[in-house]
Amino acid sequence: MNVTVEKKPRLTTSAMIASIAAEGQRVKAAPFGHALVELAKERPDLVGMSADLSKYTDLHIFAQAHPERFYQMGMAEQLLLAAAGGMAKTGLMPFATSYAVFATRRAYDFIHQVICEEDLNVKICAALPGLTTGYGPSHQATEDIAMMRGIPGLTIVDPCDALDIEQAVPAIAAHQGPVYMRLLRGNVPLVLDEYDYQFELGKAKRLRDGKDVLIIASGIMTMRALETSDALAKDQVEVAVLHVPTIKPLDETTILQEASKSGRLVIVAENHSVIGGLGEAVASLLLRSSVTPAFRQIALPDAFLDAGALPTLHDRYGISTSVMASKIKSWL
């Protein structure tokens, strides 16, 4: 076979390595796993469960420390969540892990009926949220928050970085009732330690003030919002950043307070579909409250996303810092 093909530059996909940390960024390894090991000291009711993804959700750290408190359920997400509900009915507090796509899409009715309808104390911790893998729609959880927001009584947490996760783990354990937490795994960026920040369940926190633009963000988009704010500062655009790690229940008071400050363009940035996530939650809150600043959404399109390298895809779908910065400038 002597066919010569034109060689395109190869951009290898970050499909499975899926650390969202940029080159040279400060990181912390497996913050979720280590936080659970810490928590286990005070909470004898804590058990870990996974659907053949303990190694890929950092739960293996806990499983190694407490093998007798870890239950491998096999690659059976419906079983995982129904059994977690069953365990909770006996008084235990299961932390159940899988990827966000499988926990939500595959096991939705089990979360809805078994766990939430009875208000059971299950913590569902789901890795690869939004667009954090280039593996294609089967692994890209672009609508998990929309699905989970539809379930009454379910608390939803979308942490930004390693510090957020470390602090969120004991906080969601202290809350009696079901929680869905998006998980960052492996080498997780460390960002929020540079701010006067403490995770509080149900509270939004202003990380930075600015007079021109307010970005309301959750998850990794808070990190992007801070980077965008730095980038735009060079153009004399002042960008405030409000971090909203708890998507439900929403901290309406703080969001209304910030959005009411006149003259600022309000942008909601989320690592999620434009449909049914933080953006729409904030939009309806503002309208209901007759607070109507200029408003934009930075979010993933309502589409099945491509497979490919993460940096390519973040640019393509507008959630990279550079694309965010240029979009915001065009809106001013």
Ligand X SMILES: Cc1ncc(C[n+]2csc(CCOP(=O)(O)OP(=O)(O)O)c2C)c(N)n1
* Residues near ligand X (CB under 6 A): 52-53, 75, 102, 106
Q: Which residues contact 135 (CB under 8 A, 6 or more apart)?
A: 13, 15, 16, 18, 307
135 interacts with, out of ligand X, another protein, none, CB within 5 to 8 A per kind = another protein
Q: Is 116 within 8 Å of 153 (Cβ atoms)?
A: yes
Is residue 303 near another protein by the rule CB under 8 A? no
26 HSE (CA, 13 A, CB side):
9
Select from 186, 97, 185, 100 the least CA-distant residue to 142: 100
Nearer to ligand X, 75 or 291 (CB): 75
Select from 52, 53, 49 the least CA-distant residue to 18: 53
Residues within window 66-125 making contact with another protein, judged by CB under 8 A:
72-76, 78-79, 101-102, 105-106
Nearer to ligand X, 51 or 190 (CB): 51
Q: 101 is written with which tokens?
A: 């796509």
Place of tokens 């909770």: 88
- CA angle, 324 as apex, 318 and 330 as ends, to 5°? 110
Nearer to another protein, 63 or 225 (CB): 63
Nearer to ligand X, 54 or 187 (CB): 54
Is residue 3 near another protein by the rule CB under 8 A? yes
Residue nearest ligand X (C-beta atom): 52
Count of chain residues binding another protein (CB under 8 A): 42
Positions that interact with another protein (CB under 8 A): 1, 3, 5, 7-8, 10-13, 15-17, 50-56, 60, 72-76, 78-79, 101-102, 105-106, 134-139, 306-309, 312
